[in-house]
Structure 1
Amino acid sequence: MKLGSWEEIIGHLMAVKDNGDGTTTLVFMADSRMIEVTVQSDTGNLERLVNHRIGLLRTDDQQRPYIVRMIEVGKDAIRKERKLQKWIR
């Protein structure tokens, strides 16, 4: 699946793997499919988002092609969205 600019996939983050070559692979489940995305490792601690719902937003900025955000669902099923401090490069 290829994302166009400003498209987003929302899913459940299953794992974060450090590839040892300066990149990190995010593994998440979205639309009953397992999706892997490889990004630069300079994004901070993404392990804290494992087992949470996330949104992976594709931008049109070549310096920051992805934004990861955690999606929380409150008691009243109102979605609260919080952007992370770091950008995925």
Structure 2
Amino acid sequence: MRIMLATAASVTLLVTASSRAEDNKACMLKAAEALPRIAGLVIKRTRTRPVPSAILATWKGQTRPIIVDMDIVAAGDEETLSFMCVLSKGSAFVRRVMN
């Protein structure tokens, strides 16, 4: 009985982690689509992080948003662009936010 319970808990954690990875990937792809159309723009690094508590305190949505940070190089200038991403019914919605 203990082995079955431990196995079920492990599978649940694995599925949850895998689900978050898929959610992060969907948000990163949607944020990349929202980048400005600049010739020669290169994405150097992409990462996700939790939304700041100030935004989360006023959040009324059902799903928790995340922040997607993208380090880009365009016309020789390096910059980090941030997008807030929310998943709803399998679709990712992004909006650019200031750092």
Higher Cα Rg: structure 1 or 2? 2
Q: Which of the two has greater helix per residue?
A: 2
Q: Which of the two has greater strand per residue?
A: 1
